[in-house]
Chains A and B, each alone.
Chain A
């Protein structure tokens, strides 16, 4: 299959204009001994064959719509996506456009991003949002970069809650490995501590405190006291938040957070085996010049039409090069559109319904599961749609048993927290019917 729209006669005419005899003659600058390698790749498929082969590969998987009942979350959540969302994403005008460098012919993308920024600030209770990051984990890492830049590298301590998603903590470590950051609090065995345990760790060398909301174990804390304590020492606070939970819960903005980041995959983006997802990054206006990523602002054109442009580009790599706030260039534009269409289509009430269903079903599941002999809830704090179930056996065994019965159990916390081998992180969304929850309970009773 080829997508090259040039006939042999046209090719020959073009070669003549260029002044060479053959296509191969265009590559004389390439060292002869390495020119035109034989690539050992499978022979080309037609579209029909490719569709069949990819279909075959996809069907080898067991998926959570057709084969498995899923209670797995831990950073990626199975939610209903209204039909409208993908119809809008499939518009070639959106998905085959580039970054909107030419605003006169990119107002669709620009206004959509401006609206996305508005939706996210309204959701998080913050003042500004950028146009997106790669995912929640890299957004959390870029928040640390912002804090590092804010203090010009003079404060190097990061107070990192052990109840932040372990993968996010790994990414923060990867991102900051060249910066000499001193991380405190990030100790797997302190997983039971609440936010008050972090307060004594904050001092005048602390640039940032990073917590999660609800935390990785699903617990909901009001971080106001922690944030006040951090601000007393001059440190910034970053809250990693779940967007579905924010529909119901007090906003981190109300608590005084400086930066709110997170993973917006729950807002209309398929599980897709982990990506691409959508990192959101919101903050206060005072940090906007230190923020990474693209930013769209409102303006007018020469005809007096309200319009939108990329703004504050002086922060970015193509202008500032090595002094840029980040190297980010391509972000998740189309998925920001996805989240916007999702939020608009459900609207205020639809989103509240989704959040409420998640909350109600999770609480039903927790109540029923904890009635089973040997099982119980590990924490007493309020939770949203995810909770830790203490099991009488290692979570890995429980999960295997559930899988044998067509159920994706929760996340085995023993993988990241060595003393939580018997702990299962269970997520429940609007996709889980009461029947599914009852099935889970029945099967565990028989274990």
Chain B
């Protein structure tokens, strides 16, 4: 029997216990539907409010979080989430508006959405923006659908290939796979750029476009970005930008100016929407002029012009060749757009540029401090993140061991084993919201761990040892597939 540190909510249940109760009915009793339409039992937990609070408080303490410490998870931009966002997104005017209310009654929401569209256009250099996609991958799917629709409307039906660098996020090929397109992988060169010769060879009239993350997942800004864009465009393809790494570009360069046609934003990375233990995110998509007619419907627009006395009336508009609706209602308004709007409003143009500059400074500072201890295969000025190898000659210590050992020093590990093109990758993204002391402490610990790897490798193999839980048996989880729990069989007799 496994040792149970905190029982499940089902195990805590006791028949007849009550939490929050509802008022008595104030209307005459109506007959219920016929018995055959009713459920026979409702096997859900029964607890008092204090049981629930204690349970979730205990669970919360099992988590590591940005509020508690350094979370240098590459490609995820785990920056500090300002507390004011938590208040603005819970203003009653936002919390209690129904998505199908008449537009005249929700002008505050619509103005916020309209301005958000305009701001994201300005930040990225695009001609149009949809706020509908729910997350980055959803934005990617939206973008790829638009690229396909663009070629289809032109009758250019032989385009079935998407060019994707080997360093790309897994969501890129998966988004393409959802449309049945063929993925052509383009390798990186020795400086971490797209290999131009290989790209040239792949560019022909069957190319839908290219999905490029820039800076890429090595943290490198492509030194030939203009040539890359030109090659793809010259063969009639469209350029997709994965905006996961936009934090490095705010006020530095606009993807639209570089010639990109589509890009998704991750409001939960760049614009401080908290990650929530895996969501909700928010993944608006920006497009160049030639794709604006294909944006999902509806967009927020001005439906009646204003004048000196009347503000314009904001409402919904449908693009001419829209790919359709990506989700119900209007995107992640409350939890996503309001927080990101607050964040952008508080930064302004100079503040946004500071974010990128300090994110890049912090990454380069860590890279400089670790260069002599860890092998950095693509070693030049990086952007907001960098990738080093978590292995040492003559040692069987792996990146995973280093990651687990970091937990013993109360740091969250970097991203492991990604990108796939670096052996034993440790992908480190410090973000701009860490101070020099934290970065120094982190670098010192990594240097110490490198020493431990040589002198006491078992410390790493057995790590973590100071945390509440040790390494998990992942094989058992996949083999036995226990995916949920139930009330005990004799539950009713427990009273």
Contact = CB atoms under 8 A, between A and B. Distances in A.
Interface in A325-344: 326-335, 337, 340-341, 343-344
Contact of B44 (A42, A108, A114, A122): A122
Nearest to B278: A333
A249 B9 CA distance: 23
Contact of A250 (B37, B275, B474, B486): B37
A356 B189 CA distance: 65
Most buried by A among B78, B223, B331, B472: B472
A222 B178 contact: no
B137 A329 contact: yes
A312 interface: yes
Contact of A301 (B57, B342, B473): B473
Contact of A272 (B60, B82, B334, B418): B334
Interface string B22-42: 110111111011101111101
B100 A4 contact: no
A96 B25 contact: no
Contact of A100 (B9, B278, B476): B278
B481 A297 contact: yes
A317 interface: yes
B118 to A, nearest CB: 9
A186 to B, nearest CB: 14
Most buried by A among B57, B148, B480, B485: B485
Contacts, number: 701
A429 B53 CA distance: 26
In this complex, the interface size class of chain B, counting residues with CB under 8 Å from chain A, is 35 or more
B170 interface: yes
Contacts of B358: 4, 6, 11, 23
B134 A93 contact: no
Interface stretch (A24-32, A154-162, A187-195, A198-206): A24-32
Interface stretch (A13-21, A229-237, A369-377): A13-21
Interface string B264-292: 00001000001111111110000000000
A102 B403 contact: yes
Interface string B471-493: 11110111011111111000000
Contact of A327 (B25, B76, B86, B175): B175
B39 A248 contact: yes
Contact of B9 (A42, A145, A318, A344): A344
Interface stretch (B119-127, B197-205, B451-459): B119-127
Contacts of B421: none
A57 B116 CA distance: 13
A261 interface: no
Interface string B1-31: 0111110111001000111111101111110
A306 B2 contact: yes
Contacts of B153: none
Most buried by A among B28, B101, B462: B101
Contacts of A175: 178
B354 interface: yes
